[in-house]
Amino acid sequence: MLLSDGVITLRPIAVDDAPAHLAGEDAELVRWLNDGPGTPEGVRAYFEERVADWESDGATRTFAILEQEGGALVGTLDVEVEQPFLAKGQANLAYGIYPQWRGRGLATRAVILGCRFLAAAGMADEAVLRIDPSNAASVAVARRARFRYLRGTDEPGEGRLDWYIQAV
Number of domains within the chain = 1
Split at pLDDT 50, 70, 90, the class of 7 is very high
Cβ atoms within 10 A of the Cβ of 31, count? 11
Please write the tens of the pLDDT for every residue from 93-104. Answer: 999 999 999 999
Please write the tens of the pLDDT for every residue from 52-82. Answer: 999 999 999 999 999 999 999 999 999 999 9
Distance CA 99, CA 75 (A): 9
Distance CA 78, CA 94 (A): 5
Distance CA 88, CA 59 (A): 13
Split at pLDDT 50, 70, 90, the class of 128 is very high
Q: Where is average pLDDT lowest: 6-10, 33-37, 110-114, 151-155?
A: 33-37
Split at pLDDT 50, 70, 90, the class of 37 is confident
In the predicted structure, residue 32 carries a pLDDT above the cut 90? no
Name the nearest CA neighbour of 58 among 73, 43, 78, 75. Answer: 78
In the predicted structure, residue 30 carries a pLDDT above the cut 80? no
What is the CATH classification number for the domain harbouring 109? 3.40.630.30
Report pLDDT for 27: 80
Quote the mean pLDDT of the chain: 94
In the predicted structure, residue 34 carries a pLDDT above the cut 70? no
Domain that holds residue 34: 3-167
Query: Which residue did the predictor score with more confidence, 35 or 4?
Result: 4
